[in-house]
Structure 1
Amino acid sequence: MSGGPVVNERGEIIAIHGRSDTEVYKLAKLTGEDIPEVLQTAIEEDDEDAEAFGFQINLFKWGIPTNIYLANLAKVPKVAATESLTAEDYFNQGNNFSAQDRYQEAIVAYDKALEIKPDYSDAWNNRGFALDKLGKYQEAITSYDKALEIKPDYALVWNNRGFALDELGKYQEAIASYDKALKIKPDYALAWRNRGNALNELGKYQEAITSYDKALEIKPDYASAWNNRGFALDELGKYQEAIASYDKALEIKPDYSDAWYNLGNALNELGKYQEAITSYDKALEIKPDYALAWYNRGNTLYELGKYQEAITSYDKALEIKPDYASAWNNRGFALESLKRYDEALESYEKAIQLDSNYQIAINNRKNLLEKLGR
């Protein structure tokens, strides 16, 4: 999850092999547009969402395109060494570093700004953001808390604090932070969306849908809210409604690979396997290294009895993610269906090597050995 655009893998299809049957279990993928890509996705979301990640600089404040902003960085006059830098100078320096993904250097600059001006709430917030990007979520929360001590009604900081808590798996606390943001700013679409994401993580799918609906009342073209709403509907078994949500996301953002992937999963649940494959193919046109889409495409081809094509898809998934235990297992299952037993055993063994507690693969290997009388 994320306080900004975010991608979060929720699970995978697993083929459970008895002697002659297959049980397929599916969990979808919950997304935003990846963990805040400050220079890309945040601007796509809109200026308000970009600002929610703390960049109080012209790049986001005025919506200047990223390439123009970065090109202009080189043109910004440098302060002479003899001149003393102000807190604002260091703050802007930190923002410039963050805009170039140089987060450790950004933190050093924010720290210098805060030495000069300890009550600089924007610097505390942006420092928290940089720590977020480095995966230092607890330290980020400490920075956000400092910003909130200075400015308790700072809605975007409450939102960003929720993001960091999400990343730590503290979903209930994250929701409390989003609620604080929404009390201050009830029309904060991003906070409503993020609140829905945290509720999804807690399995509170109906409440999540309510939060997404709030986000969509405020911002009807919010592609990730439509996508994540679809995920919640999927989890409630409302596949047709989920498809309608994914379709809305794709009307808004046709190159949304995660929405194509999720649409494929929902179609799969309805037994519309050929349409599901078409959706996975769309996702893979956009994102060829999408291991999970290759994997689920393989599972769908298996359902259609296209075992060799399924193996090809699993192989693609494994090129991208060689430690994908369930892809090795399902590859073995498809090979077994083609009576390529030795290759199937090798695949099951590979899955077990990767995960010694992988009971499905252990059972599949055991059943095949029994079938072969070994």
Structure 2
Amino acid sequence: MKKSILLISLITSFFSFSQDNYSKEQKIILDNYYTNGALNYNYNYQMFEWQKCLDEGLAKDNSIARLWSEKAMPYFKARKYEMGMPFIDKAVELNPKEYLPYRAFLKCIFSKNYKDAIKDFEESIKLNGNSYEMDHTYNFYIGLSYLQLNEYSKAEKLFKEYIDELFEKRQGLENSTAYFYYGISLYEQKNWQEAIVTFDKAIKQYPNFSEAKYYKAICLARLGKQDEVKKVFQEAQEDFKKGCKLSEWNTVYEMYPYEISPYHLNL
């Protein structure tokens, strides 16, 4: 029940947006064609109706960045990246401060254009500082991109800074995903023992974290600790079967870097 309430809250938050930068006339268009228009449809099976509402709004005023962004979003979730990108490009053109980091996120997590994602996030930092997009800092996603480009030491530095920031600037907040990817950056550099310590921190925050246990098991195997490997690997299998995987909302649409599948666990 708690998860359902949280999901509803997240969706409501996702669909709400600041209208401060829009004129009175533009706010009316947004209300008519987005809030009271497109949102009446489920784009998973009513894509035509969703897009038609937004197109009608854009016919009234094609300078409303939010409408262009909402045209893009369902295509990315349907993995039609080339269809969606021109629309988010238009939103960025109209309002780079708000939509450049969102495009960078889409390039990192969805279309997986990591070099372009890094460029967009670096430009976003110039505009907004190292702000947040979808629960993490811009530098966090740059770190993910570096992981996928095999630039592990660069990723390690950014994830370490991110963890330090969570503690120092956000009152000791800990994040299992942050520890996991910091551990991955160490794992890829063959720092097996240090990686295990970091994966254990992720597991402390999220006791059923199957990915953290899977990669911890590999590190244990590399260190020759065969007695421990079997136990940790079996725990990873059991947790995975329970659906206890990488805890990021957009994993319902896309595989995140180093996310595991039944293939990894011999299931």
User: What's the TM-score, normalizing by structure 1?
Assistant: 0.52
Deviation at 1:205, TM superposition (A): 0.4
| 8 Å Cα contact 1:267-1:275 kept in structure 2 | yes
Name the residue aligned to 2:215. 262
The answer to whether the aligner puts 1:176 opposite 2:115 as a matched pair is: no
The answer to whether the aligner puts 1:248 opposite 2:201 as a matched pair is: yes
Deviation at 1:128, TM superposition (A): 2.2
Deviation at 1:170, TM superposition (A): 2.6
| 8 Å Cα contact 1:107-1:131 kept in structure 2 | no
| 8 Å Cα contact 1:103-1:133 kept in structure 2 | no
* CA gap 1:279/1:97 in 2 versus in 1, 3 angstroms: farther
| 8 Å Cα contact 1:88-1:113 kept in structure 2 | no
The answer to whether the aligner puts 1:217 opposite 2:176 as a matched pair is: no
Deviation at 1:133, TM superposition (A): 0.3
Larger Rg: 1
Of all paired residues, the percent bearing the same amino acid is 22
Cα separation, 2, equivalents of 1:144 and 1:223 = 30
Q: How does 1:49-60 map to 2 (within 5 A)?
A: 55-57=14-16
Query: Which of 286, 291, 296 does residue 262 from structure 2 map onto?
Result: 291
Cα separation, 1, equivalents of 2:174 and 2:46 = 31
Deviation at 1:101, TM superposition (A): 4.8
Query: Which of 28, 34, 58 does residue 91 from structure 1 map onto?
Result: 34
Query: Which of 163, 181, 186 does residue 130 from structure 2 map onto?
Result: 186
Residue 149 of structure 1 aligns to a residue whose secondary structure is helix
The answer to whether the aligner puts 1:278 opposite 2:231 as a matched pair is: yes
Cα separation, 1, equivalents of 2:40 and 2:92 = 23
Name the residue aligned to 2:102. 160
Cα separation, 1, equivalents of 2:52 and 2:222 = 50
Structure 1: gaps of 5 or more residues: 1-38, 62-84, 296-316, 318-374
Aligned residues, how many? 222
* Deviations, residues 269-288 of structure 1 (Å, cap 9, x unaligned): 22222322222222222222
Residue 287 of structure 1 aligns to a residue whose secondary structure is helix
Cα separation, 1, equivalents of 2:162 and 2:41 = 31
| 8 Å Cα contact 1:260-1:280 kept in structure 2 | yes
Cα separation, 2, equivalents of 1:196 and 1:129 = 24
Q: How does 1:32-181 map to 2 (within 5 A)?
A: 40=7, 43=10, 55-57=14-16, 86-92=29-35, 93-95=37-39, 97=41, 101-102=44-45, 104=47, 105-154=49-98, 157-166=99-108, 167-181=110-124
Residue 97 of structure 2 aligns to a residue whose secondary structure is coil
* CA gap 1:176/1:267 in 2 versus in 1, 3 angstroms: same
User: Which letter maps to 2:179?
Assistant: W
| 8 Å Cα contact 2:33-2:56 kept in structure 1 | yes
Residue 221 of structure 1 aligns to a residue whose secondary structure is coil
* CA gap 1:110/1:250 in 2 versus in 1, 3 angstroms: farther
User: Which letter maps to 1:270?
Assistant: L
Name the residue aligned to 1:233. 186
User: Which letter maps to 1:57?
Assistant: S
Deviation at 1:251, TM superposition (A): 1.8
Greater RCO (CA < 8 Å, at least 6 residues apart) = 1
Deviation at 1:95, TM superposition (A): 4.4
Cα separation, 2, equivalents of 1:97 and 1:265 = 45
* CA gap 1:190/1:110 in 2 versus in 1, 3 angstroms: farther
* CA gap 1:247/1:101 in 2 versus in 1, 3 angstroms: farther
Cα separation, 2, equivalents of 1:89 and 1:143 = 20
Residue 291 of structure 1 aligns to a residue whose secondary structure is coil
Cα separation, 1, equivalents of 2:32 and 2:211 = 40
Q: How does 1:326-365 map to 2 (within 5 A)?
A: none
Residue 119 of structure 1 aligns to a residue whose secondary structure is coil
| 8 Å Cα contact 2:130-2:137 kept in structure 1 | no
Output the aligned Cα RMSD: 3.1
Cα separation, 2, equivalents of 1:239 and 1:233 = 7
User: Which letter maps to 1:229?
Assistant: Y
User: What's the TM-score, normalizing by structure 2?
Assistant: 0.71
Deviation at 1:292, TM superposition (A): 3.1
